Structure 1
Amino acid sequence: MFELTVTYSKQGVQFGRLIGKFQAVRRQITILAGEVTAAKSIVINSKNKCRNLLFTSNPI
């Protein structure tokens, strides 16, 4: 979804200007990019913790 947003901001036109040229749109995309990066980090970290639990825990 993030990639679609960036693509649209580069192609969409409003008031005769590309949408991505508006400061408010650029700011929101920057915020979204940070949130996507943080979410990816959380998912990767969780995956690694689960993998470590599976392969290092002692069977009962």
Structure 2
Amino acid sequence: MRPYPDAIFNGVHSFGVLHHTDHPEQAVSEMWRIMRPGVAGVRRAGAMICRSSSTARPS
């Protein structure tokens, strides 16, 4: 079971964390999964990722 349902959060903030994870691509994928469409999340040193129905999800 995943700790959070899909599309539950309005945003994700992860400042200075991804480069410390063993699988950063998996962490980013999880950020996309839990963010609602049309919202923005912050990752790494301020780089923005946004999720909307027209934004392609990273593979």
| TM > 0.5 | no
More relative contact order, 1 or 2 (CA 8 Å, 6+ apart): 2
Kindly name which structure, 1 or 2, has the bigger radius of gyration based on alpha carbons: 1
What is the TM-score normalised by the length of structure 2?
0.30
What is the TM-score normalised by the length of structure 1?
0.29
More helix by share: 1
